[in-house]
């Protein structure tokens, strides 16, 4: 009788092993689900970034406001009918080589 109980226990363990620890078992499925959730989060972030870039491209193709905004922000450019004034922070020492006025149409170095 004792051998029969041991044999049944061994049979149950042999049947349960692949389900819990074998290839395609419960632990591997759980790890795969975790990786899938992480990949979905990364894809959602990339999709939002792509949509923002797509909107920027559409703005640049259709209108001049987006081009002007980028030229001002990234390149520090001004229009020919504007005067550029650069204000120093309150505690900063004045620079000796700073020009009083930039000639119209001249590129202005980017603000820091």
Determine the pLDDT at residue 109: 62
Determine the pLDDT at residue 105: 62
Contact predicate 105/84, CB 8 Å: no
| pLDDT-derived band at 74, boundaries 50, 70, 90 | confident
User: Which has more confidence, 45 or 83?
Assistant: 45
Within 10 A of 91 (CB to CB), how many other CB atoms are there? Answer: 5
What's the average model confidence in pLDDT over 43-64? 93
What's the average model confidence in pLDDT over 103-107? 62
Contact predicate 107/78, CB 8 Å: no
Residue with tokens 């149950």: 12
């Amino acid at each position: 009788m004792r051998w029969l109980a041991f044999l049944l226990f061994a049979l149950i363990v042999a049947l349960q092993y692949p389900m819990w620890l074998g290839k395609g078992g419960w632990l591997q499925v759980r790890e795969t689900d975790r990786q899938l959730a992480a990949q979905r989060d990364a894809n959602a972030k990339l999709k939002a970034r792509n949509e923002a870039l797509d909107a920027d491209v559409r703005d640049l193709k259709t209108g001049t406001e987006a081009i002007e905004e980028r030229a001002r922000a990234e390149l520090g450019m001004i229009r020919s009918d504007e005067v550029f004034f650069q204000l120093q922070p309150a505690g900063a020492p004045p620079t000796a080589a700073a020009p009083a006025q930039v000639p119209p149409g001249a590129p202005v170095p980017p603000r820091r």
